[in-house]
Amino acid sequence: MVLSVRGSGKQRDIVLTTDCGTEIDDQWALVYLAVSPQFNLKGVVTTHAPNLAEPRSGTSANCVHDVFRRLHLASPPQVFAGSSVPLPERAPLRNAGIDFIIKTSQEYSAKNRLTILTIGATTDVASAFLADPTLGDRVEVLTMGFNSWPRGTDPWNIKNDPLAYSVILDSRAPITIGGADVCRAHLTVDVKRVNSLVRGHGEVGDWLADLFEDFVTKNADFVAQDVGPQRWVIWDTIVVAHLLGYTQFSTHPRPALNTVDLTFLPIETDKTIRWITKVDETHMWEDFTTKIDKHNANLPKRY
Residue 301 has pLDDT above 90, yes or no: no
Strand-pair partners of 142: 117, 176
Average pLDDT on 32-53 reads 98
Query: What CATH number is associated with residue 67?
Result: 3.90.245.10
pTM for the model: 0.97
Task: Indicate whether 193 belongs to any domain.
Answer: no
> What pLDDT is attached to residue 6?
59
Task: Indicate whether 217 belongs to any domain.
Answer: no
Task: Indicate whether 267 belongs to any domain.
Answer: yes
> What pLDDT is attached to residue 4?
74
Query: C-alpha dihedral over 172, 174, 175, 176, to 10 degrees?
Result: 170
Residue 43 has pLDDT above 70, yes or no: yes
Task: Indicate whether 26 belongs to any domain.
Answer: yes
Distance from C-alpha of 270 to C-alpha of 148, rounded to nearest angstrom = 22
Strand-pair partners of 252: 273
Give the number of domains in the chain.
1
Distance from C-alpha of 25 to C-alpha of 22, rounded to nearest angstrom = 9
Instruction: Quickly state the pLDDT bin for 93 (edges 50, 70, 90).
Output: very high
What sign has the CA pseudo-torsion 129, 259, 219, 290? Answer: negative
What's the Cα-to-Cα distance from 151 to each of 46, 154, 165, 242, 257, rounded to whole Å?
A: 28, 10, 15, 22, 10
Task: Indicate whether 54 belongs to any domain.
Answer: yes
Average pLDDT on 16-31 reads 98
Average pLDDT on 149-178 reads 98
Q: What is the pLDDT of residues 171-229, one digit of tens each?
A: 999 999 999 999 999 999 999 999 999 999 999 999 999 999 999 999 999 999 999 99
Task: Indicate whether 200 belongs to any domain.
Answer: no
Task: Indicate whether 53 belongs to any domain.
Answer: yes
Q: Which domain holds residue 58?
A: 2-187+234-296
Instruction: Quickly state the pLDDT bin for 300 (edges 50, 70, 90).
Output: confident
Task: Indicate whether 87 belongs to any domain.
Answer: yes
